[in-house]
Amino acid sequence: LEFGCTVLLIDHHRKPAGDIANLIDDVSGATGKTGVADTIIGLYRKRMETVATLKATGRDQDEKELAVKFDKEFCSWQYLGEADEVAKTEGRQEILDGLDDFGGETTVTKLADYLGKSKSYIHKVLCKLETEGIVSQPRSRGPYKRVHHSPGEQGEQGEQGEQSENNDSLGFNNLTHSENGYQNGRLQPYFDDFDPPSEDTGYLNYSSHYDD
């Protein structure tokens, strides 16, 4: 800290003894290596997968787990977000893709067997997706169906509806063009003079005024 610089040492991970990663124990060799370090960072990736988890812990910082992905084109790791949030998103997408593989409709049991996941996990995620309007279950204990619109479209529709309600609360939705120049909640100019687009700029030339 006194000189404003960092000493970065790169080492190997030892061969894993299990599936649980431990930043301190996983450093190859004696634990004395990690004992003198202020911060320890480890990169974990399963074989044949492109997304990895970058874990960090230290004396002066909270533990962090970040999801990163290696970009072959730029030969660099790209930050995707918090590892937990990315895992949730990928899990949801995996279930939606599984539904699509069944033609957009199937049961929890079939989907769990197909994806190799537990039925309780599949049911939990599907219930969450149902509350968001992404899937539906017409009959109790029946199959789940994919709703044919994307979450982004649903969000846009919700924003448009909210904007319309806000405009209506101000009285804009009831105004017409003859009432102070308002049209569909927006102030519109009255065009007095109108010329074709300019050959130089391509812009429309007009003069206008607003009613008081």
Of residues 160 and 113, more confidence is placed in 113
Rounded distance, CA 48 to CA 199, Å? 58
Question: Residue 85: helix, strand or coil by DSSP?
Answer: helix
Strand partners, 13: 27
Please determine, for residue 102, whether its predicted confidence score (pLDDT) is greater than 60: yes
Backbone angles phi, psi at 188, to 5 degrees: -110, 140
Q: pLDDT class for 16, splitting at 50, 70, 90?
A: low
Rounded distance, CA 194 to CA 43, Å? 64
Average pLDDT over residues 20-46: 78
* Average pLDDT value for the chain: 71
Rounded distance, CA 40 to CA 30, Å? 14
Strand (E) or helix (H) holding 126: helix 119-131
Q: What is the pLDDT of residues 49-76, one digit of tens each?
A: 778 889 888 888 888 889 998 888 888 9
Average pLDDT over residues 89-97: 86
Q: Judge residue 99's burial from the number of C-beta atoms within 10 Å of its C-beta, 0-12 exposed, 13-18 middle, 19 or more buried.
A: buried
Q: What is the pLDDT of residues 134-192, one digit of tens each?
A: 889 888 888 999 886 444 444 444 444 444 444 444 343 443 333 344 344 343 444 44
Query: Of all residues in the chain, what percent carry a pLDDT higher than 70?
Result: 64
Q: What is the pLDDT of residues 122-132, one digit of tens each?
A: 998 898 888 87
Task: List the Cα angle 90/95/100 in 5-degree steps.
Answer: 120
DSSP state of 78: E
Average pLDDT over residues 69-90: 85
Query: Of all residues in the chain, what percent carry a pLDDT higher than 90?
Result: 8
Sorted by where each begins, the domain ranges of the chain are 39-82, 85-146, 176-212
pLDDT attached to residue 111? 93
Pick the CATH number of 85-146 from 3.30.360.10, 1.10.10.10, 2.90.10.10, 1.10.260.40: 1.10.10.10
Q: pLDDT class for 30, splitting at 50, 70, 90?
A: low
Beta strands in 18-73 (DSSP E): 39-44, 51-58, 61-71
Look at residues 89, 25, 91 and name the one whose alpha carbon lies nearest to residue 57.
25
Within its chain, how far is the Cα of 3 from the centroid?
39
Of residues 48 and 42, more confidence is placed in 42
Q: pLDDT class for 21, splitting at 50, 70, 90?
A: low
Q: pLDDT class for 110, splitting at 50, 70, 90?
A: very high
Look at residues 132, 129, 68 and name the one whose alpha carbon lies nearest to residue 95.
129
Q: pLDDT class for 114, splitting at 50, 70, 90?
A: very high
